[in-house]
Amino acid sequence: MSGVILDKVVKRYGAVEVVHAIDLTVEPQEFVVLVGPSGCGKSTTLRMIAGLEEISDGTVEIDGRVVNRVAPKDRDVAMVFQNYALYPHLNVADNIAFGLRIRRTPKAEVLASIEEVAGILGLTEYLDRRPADLSGGQRQRVAMGRAIVRHPKVFLFDEPLSNLDAKLRTQMRAEIKRLHKRLGVTSVYVTHDQVEAMTLADRIVVMQDGHIEQIGTPMDLFLNPVNTFVAGFIGSPPMNQIEAIVEGGADAPRATFAGQSIALPKLDELSSRVGEKVTIGIRPEHAKIEPAGADAISVELDLVETLGSEALLHTTLAGNPFIIKAETGGDVEHLNQVTQFWAGPETIKVFDGKTGRAFGHPATSYQGGS
Ligand SMILES: Nc1ncnc2c1ncn2[C@@H]1O[C@H](COP(=O)(O)OP(=O)(O)O)[C@@H](O)[C@H]1O
Ligand SMILES: [Mg+2]
């Protein structure tokens, strides 16, 4: 089975470097998602794997072979785009078969492939239709069919669901996941949507400004973000961040901010940081409103957003927004009375006030270079 290895891959447009020596190993059969804000270099990276952009420096290896000088059509990858890129004058069957016919695949084989792929994707009834007569979701399925039919070594997806409405996006996301389970083809998937990344990926690669900030499983990134950028990007809503000063010793470290104080986890690095600025991170899910023995932190409640079984409490803490995710228990009235929360020290993250780097981060999942 085929993996993909990026070794110090650089992309320059003229004098401007937009991807900075990134290293990434995608294991055979793995589903890896590149996620990050617009312009961070996701598509450029994917297109270098596909062969649609020249690689300025470093190497890309697919299935054990360096492909820097290999033409896109000979890399044995199939790409699915946001805009589907279907041929409007061809029907579904001919769109699916297009790549096979170009490769002069025997007719019987082409017909069998169309039938098989249409079956997998639920397109059998629509084979005679043109793209204009299909829904957005069906068009996206045709685009995937065209990729699947070629039995490529690697699937590359660039924001394939971004043109769909929210409901269809959720549905297609599940279909892509099922498809990957069934076919087991190595996949690299680009999105700016962290929910899509969390739900689809075996491992997520968080990018910013042409760098990789962190690589890890969805839970790795959720529980142990390597820095404030990843903490603020992953999770919905993302991790709350509060500027604070370290107090106390190694045995009982605390953070103070705006006249309040909270117990921190016992991290070795904190003992030498007394009096220094840090950012403390608390996930909305880890801020508890039920009474408990731990420190209570006072907040000003601005707004309660009810989602059903859960609600988001938008509050202000030390002048900054702070979101608490609470169970409603079927009743939101009591949530309007909230004035404080607590968080167990073991759930609190501490980041360097200057660099944003997480203290006590398990070194294994740290991949950041910047
Ligand atoms: N053909 C190009 N010429 C110059 N700069 C480009 C070109 N294509 C992309 N860029 C720049 O490269 C950076 C990364 O772009 P891209 O990979 O498309 O980002 P993403 O897919 O993460 O939104 C951006 O700053 C973008 O403006
Ligand atoms: Mg892009």
Q: Are residues 192 and 267 both part of a single domain?
A: no
When pLDDT is cut at 50, 70 and 90, the band that residue 71 belongs to is: very high
Whether 70 and 171 map to the same domain: the answer is yes
Q: What is the residue range of 343's domain? A: 237-360
**The pLDDT value given to residue 292:** 66
- 202/187 Cα distance (integer angstroms): 10
Probe residue for ligand 1, chosen from 13, 54, 205 as the CB with the greatest number of ligand atoms within 8 Å = 13
Could you tell me the CA-to-CA distances from 121 to 13, 157, 244, 323 in Å, in that order? Answer: 38, 17, 52, 40
| Domain identity same for 198 and 258 | no
Residue nearest to atom 1 of ligand 1 (CA): 13
367 domain-assigned: no
Judgement on whether residues 136 and 167 belong to the same structural domain of the protein: yes
Domain C-terminal end among 210, 228, 246: 228
Look at residue 310 and tell me if it is in a domain: yes
Q: Are residues 68 and 153 in the same domain?
A: yes
Taking residues 340-359, what's their average pLDDT? 95
For the Cβ of 140 lying below 6 angstroms from any atom of ligand 1, the answer is no
Task: Give per-residue pLDDT as tens, 38-63.
Answer: 999 999 999 999 999 999 999 999 99
Closest of 7, 105, 3 to residue 55, by C-alpha = 7
Ligand 1 in contact with 54 (CB < 6 A)?
Answer: no
Q: Please report whether residue 368 resides in a domain.
A: no
State the residue for tokens 């409640």.
301
Atom of ligand 1 nearest to the CA of 45: 17
Provide the whole-model pTM. 0.92
Residue 217, token pair as written in the block = 């499983």
Q: Which residue has better confidence, 212 or 84?
A: 212
pLDDT digits (tens, 9 = 90+) for 270-285: 988 999 999 999 999 9
Query: Which ligand is nearest the CA of 37, by number?
Result: 1
Same domain, 59 and 153: yes
pLDDT for the residue 54: 97
**193: CA distance to ligand 1 center in Å?**
18
Note whether residue 218 is domain-resident: yes
Q: Do the domain assignments include residue 365? A: no
Query: Of 228, 250, 278, which closes a domain?
Result: 228
What's the mean pLDDT in 195-199?
96
Domain containing 330 — which CATH number? Answer: 2.40.50.140
Looking at the structure, tell me whether residues 159 and 296 fall in a common domain: no
295 and 199 in a single domain? The answer is no
What mean pLDDT value characterizes the chain? 92
Question: Alpha-carbon distance 128 to 91, whole Å?
Answer: 5
E strands present in the chain? 4-13, 16-26, 31-35, 57-62, 65-66, 77-81, 154-158, 186-191, 203-208, 211-216, 240-247, 254-257, 260-263, 277-282, 297-298, 300-306, 310-317, 320-327, 340-341, 349-352
Domain count of the fold of the chain: 2
Q: What is the CA angle 4-44-201, rounded to 5?
A: 50
Indicate whether 366 belongs to any domain: no
What residues contact residue 318 under an 8 Å CB cut-off, 6+ apart? 242, 243, 257, 258, 260
- State how far the Cα of 152 lies from the Cα of 79, in Å rounded to an integer: 10
Q: Are residues 167 and 189 in the same domain?
A: yes
- Residue 174 CA, ligand 2 centroid: distance in Å: 22
Residue 119 belongs to domain with CATH number:
3.40.50.300
Strand order in the sheet with 57-62: 16-26, 4-13, 57-62, 65-66
pLDDT, greater one: 122 or 68 = 68
Q: In the prediction, which pLDDT does 370 show?
A: 38
pLDDT band at 368 (very low <50, low <70, confident <90, very high): very low
Q: Which of these three, 203, 228, 253, is where a domain ends?
A: 228
Task: Mark whether 213 and 309 lie in a shared domain.
Answer: no
Q: Verify that 86 and 168 share a domain, yes or no.
A: yes
Give DSSP secondary structure letters for 263-293.
EPP--GGGGG-TT-EEEEEE-GGG-B-S--S
Q: Which helix (H) or strand (E) holds 102?
A: helix 92-102
Query: What single letter denotes the amino acid at residue 190?
Result: V
Asked if residue 201 and residue 152 are part of one domain, the reply reads: yes
